[in-house]
Amino acid sequence: MNKKSLLQTLFFFRTAAADLLYLVSGKAEMIDKDVERYLEETPYREPGIRAFNYCLLFIKPFRNIFYYRTRNNHALRAVCRLFLPPVSSIEIIGGEIGEGLRVDHNFCVIRPGAAGRNLTVRNGVTIGKGRSSGGGESTHPVMGDNVDIYANAVIFGGIHIGSNVKIGAGAVVNRDVPDNCTVVGNPMRIIRHEEEKGTV
């Protein structure tokens, strides 16, 4: 048993309320998909309550994902936060985000109108409200599946980001991006259209 696994056993009291919330939230399946995105950083091969607890204890950005998923369970969530405080520099609010969310580092604002499965967000990213390059009402972006956002990128406005899109470090995205693209720069440039692939 490695050191972190031993600590996980000793600190079971810190995760007890979170385990209950996990079970009663109605979001366990979705949370398991989030856990899957972090499995390589754990000693576990598949999601479940042990892997979930490990992520809560030792991968702090995961706590924010968990509290986002369980945002409608106010009382029990408040108890969890006493023992497992979220990272204050990560903000996840807004529309529904699909299963498999991964946040790698701190200093993020994640506030899409909606986002699909397997969204990956790195440090310093801002996703939020604003006017797109076409003007009009100030709204939030909508993103498809498998969007991978690198450090310090900014995405804003009532735009649509397609599926299987990579947004490069420091990119400023304020207009629509089609599927299967890589976007870089400020002003943004679409530099590659990937070949159409099957279901991801």
Phi, psi dihedral angles at 193 (to 5 degrees): -105, 115
Whose tokens are 């693209």? That residue is 181
Domain definitions of the chain by residue range: 3-83, 90-193
Tens digit of each residue's pLDDT (9 = 90 or more) over 160-183: 999 999 999 999 999 999 999 999
Beta strands in the chain (DSSP E): 90-92, 102-103, 108-110, 114-115, 120-121, 126-128, 130-132, 135-139, 142-143, 148-149, 154-156, 160-161, 166-167, 172-173, 181-184, 189-193
Q: How confident is the model at residue 132 (pLDDT cuts 50, 70, 90)?
A: low
Domain 90-193: CATH superfamily is Hexapeptide repeat proteins (2.160.10.10)
Q: What is the pLDDT of residue 12?
A: 80
Q: What is the pLDDT of residue 196?
A: 45
Q: How confident is the model at residue 195 (pLDDT cuts 50, 70, 90)?
A: very low
Q: What is the pLDDT of residue 137?
A: 72
Q: What is the pLDDT of residue 192?
A: 75
Q: What is the pLDDT of residue 200?
A: 38
Tens digit of each residue's pLDDT (9 = 90 or more) over 91-126: 999 899 999 999 998 999 999 999 999 999 999 999
175 neighbors 158 (Cβ within 8 angstroms)? no
Q: What is the pLDDT of residue 146?
A: 98
Q: What is the pLDDT of residue 198?
A: 47
Q: What is the pLDDT of residue 176?
A: 94
Share of the chain above pLDDT 70, in %: 92
Tens digit of each residue's pLDDT (9 = 90 or more) over 15-67: 999 999 999 999 999 999 999 999 999 999 999 999 999 999 999 999 999 99
